């Protein structure tokens, strides 16, 4: 789709869940705008309302139903309203969503995000559409409408072939499908031309990048890997920083660590979920690595990049997790000293093996473990932040501080959010997209403040 079409009314998108969903929402917004829709100011006045949903947390799912209830009511008096549910709840519930909310026009799984225009054309012909079948993802031909004009996301691999026993992603996002390096680079060049300065390459399991693409090198290894991709896209002019997520300890390689150390634009920040500090729990989760392997990855990163920041995801109160096993998770956090950890108490998701196991833990245990874990994560983050005090850090400015318009905000290469006054001594304003040196004066667990160097 290239030409912009006649105006069609306004759209509203609410996004739940992870970065993959946010990236999908941006692409769907791009499609809607090229179809002639414009962004609405208000959800309850929009002509098309799309909920891009997530099944990871139960409350996200419940929230979708309560939002939908309100829109369904609106549709009864305004039949021209188009109601769409996309994302993981749509994939999982499919037809049964239509039975529960008959006012819906379109239910579409994440693999169909690039086909929103085709599906809406069917809706316009009066059909109620469910698109949840396995679908080969077409190369992105749409232009995403991105919320930031400085930092963008670029999908490099869709889906996941792993079978972690707690995770719905493989069943809702399908098999792995890598994009070709040329297409990824082209998208990054387009973003650079629009003024983007930082790109995060995205995949549910980004270390799997390329294993579904053909090609073997003369040395006998796969031709397409994340490491090769980083080398391939590193020279995109205008892009100053490159990040990637989410890493999987099972496939994280030394070659990748060396590439991150050697390539200037690749930031020294690693998001590598470890999920549990106990080998038996890791086995029950079907993660495919041991705690020792995880430790070795971190050691190697710190050998090559001593100041690298580390973040992770962790789940506590997995079915059958004993107190001793849970304490090993705390010990690992204590030992490694993460800059940030996303924490969750286990929550059973439909159509996943662990949801049916009889050894589920009580809500009380979940709440207590999560509380203790969060306190430790914050304490460690504070300790890690302390190293920035008095240092000069390069910050990529993203925009105004929404809580204090006299300040601007941006991030260090290691991904710490940093606030500082938005005007120079000569009175000129600091603009989004600038790279500036900032002396750090105040450190908090998850953010920093300072002044221009």
Residues interacting with ligand SF4, by CB under 6 A? 160, 162, 164, 167, 169-170, 204-205, 248
Provide, rounded to whole angstroms, the least separation between the CB of residue 105 and ligand SF4: 29
Distance, C-alpha 311 to centroid of its chain: 13
Alpha helices in 114-266 (DSSP H): 116-124, 169-173, 181-193, 226-233, 254-262
Q: Which residues pair with 49 in a beta bridge?
A: 12, 83
Residue 164 or 438 having the CB closest to ligand SF4: 164
Provide, rounded to whole angstroms, the least separation between the CB of residue 170 and ligand SF4: 5
Q: Which residues pair with 155 in a beta bridge?
A: 202
Residue 204 or 340 having the CB closest to ligand SF4: 204
The C-alpha atoms of residue 295 and residue 416 are separated, in whole angstroms, by 23
Contact present, 137 and 25 (Cβ < 8 Å): no
Provide, rounded to whole angstroms, the least separation between the CB of residue 369 and ligand SF4: 20
Contact present, 93 and 8 (Cβ < 8 Å): no
Q: Which strands make up the sheet holding 48-53, listed edge to edge?
A: 37-39, 9-15, 48-53, 82-86, 106-108, 129-131
**Residues in CB range of 229: below 8 A, 6 or more apart:** 156, 181, 184, 201, 209, 210
Residue 129 or 160 having the CB closest to ligand SF4: 160
Q: SS in 3 state form for 347-406?
A: CCCCCCHHHHCCCCCCHHHHHHHHHHHHHHHHHHHHHHHHCCCCCEEEEEEEEEECCEEE
Contact present, 53 and 88 (Cβ < 8 Å): yes
Residue 200 or 205 having the CB closest to ligand SF4: 205
Provide, rounded to whole angstroms, the least separation between the CB of residue 433 and ligand SF4: 32
Q: At 94, is the secondary structure helix, strand, or coil? A: coil
Provide, rounded to whole angstroms, the least separation between the CB of residue 282 and ligand SF4: 12
Provide, rounded to whole angstroms, the least separation between the CB of residue 14 and ligand SF4: 23
Residue 104 or 160 having the CB closest to ligand SF4: 160
The C-alpha atoms of residue 283 and residue 303 are separated, in whole angstroms, by 28
| Sign of the dihedral defined by the CA atoms of residues 189, 192, 196, 199, in that order | positive
Residue 246 or 385 having the CB closest to ligand SF4: 246
Provide, rounded to whole angstroms, the least separation between the CB of residue 281 and ligand SF4: 14
Provide, rounded to whole angstroms, the least separation between the CB of residue 19 and ligand SF4: 12
Residue 169 or 448 having the CB closest to ligand SF4: 169
Distances (CA, A) of 155 to 32, 144, 167, 187: 19, 11, 20, 10
Contact present, 401 and 419 (Cβ < 8 Å): yes
Residue 101 or 354 having the CB closest to ligand SF4: 354
Provide, rounded to whole angstroms, the least separation between the CB of residue 286 and ligand SF4: 8
């Amino acid at each position: 789709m290239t030409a912009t079409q006649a105006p069609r009314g306004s759209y509203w998108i609410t996004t739940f869940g992870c970065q993959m969903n946010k990236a999908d929402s941006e692409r769907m917004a791009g499609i809607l705008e090229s179809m002639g829709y414009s962004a609405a100011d208000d959800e309850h006045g929009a002509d098309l309302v799309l909920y891009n949903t997530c099944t990871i947390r139960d409350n996200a799912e419940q929230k979708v139903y309560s939002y939908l209830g309100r829109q369904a009511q609106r549709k009864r008096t305004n039949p021209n309203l188009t109601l769409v549910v996309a994302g993981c709840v749509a994939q999982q519930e499919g037809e049964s969503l239509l039975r529960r909310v008959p006012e819906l026009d379109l239910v579409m799984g994440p693999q169909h995000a690039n086909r929103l225009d085709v599906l809406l054309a069917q809706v316009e012909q009066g059909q109620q559409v469910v698109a949840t079948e396995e679908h080969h993802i077409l190369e992105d031909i749409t232009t995403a409408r991105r919320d930031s004009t400085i930092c963008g996301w670029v999908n490099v691999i869709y889906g996941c072939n792993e079978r972690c026993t707690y995770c719905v992603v493989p069943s809702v996002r399908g098999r792995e499908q890598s994009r070709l390096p040329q297409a990824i680079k082209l998208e990054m060049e387009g973003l650079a031309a629009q003024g983007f300065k930082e790109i995060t390459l995205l995949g549910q399991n980004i270390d799997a990048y390329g294993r579904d693409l053909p090609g073997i090198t003369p040395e006998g290894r796969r031709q397409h890997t994340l490491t090769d991709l980083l080398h391939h896209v590193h020279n995109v002019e205008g892009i100053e920083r490159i990040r990637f997520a989410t890493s999987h300890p099972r496939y994280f390689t030394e070659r990748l660590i060396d590439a991150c150390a050697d390539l200037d634009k690749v930031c020294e920040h690693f998001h590598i979920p470890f999920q549990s500090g106990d080998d038996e729990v890791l086995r029950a989760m079907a993660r495919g690595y041991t705690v020792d392997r995880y430790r070795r990855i971190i050691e190697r990163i710190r050998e090559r990049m001593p100041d690298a920041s580390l973040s992770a995801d962790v789940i506590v109160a997995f079915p059958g997790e004993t107190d001793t096993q849970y304490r090993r998770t705390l010990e690992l956090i204590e030992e490694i000293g993460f800059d940030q950890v996303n924490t969750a108490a286990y929550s059973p998701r439909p159509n996943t093996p662990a949801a049916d196991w009889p050894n589920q833990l009580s809500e009380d245990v979940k709440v207590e473990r999560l509380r203790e874990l969060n306190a430790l994560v914050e304490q460690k983050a504070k300790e890690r932040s302390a190293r920035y005090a008095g240092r000069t850090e390069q910050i990529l400015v993203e925009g105004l501080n929404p809580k204090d318009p006299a300040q601007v905000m941006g991030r260090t290469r290691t991904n710490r959010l940093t606030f500082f006054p938005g005007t120079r001594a000569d009175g000129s304003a600091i603009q989004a997209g600038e790279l500036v040196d900032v002396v750090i004066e105040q450190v908090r667990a998850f953010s920093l403040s300072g002044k221009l160097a």
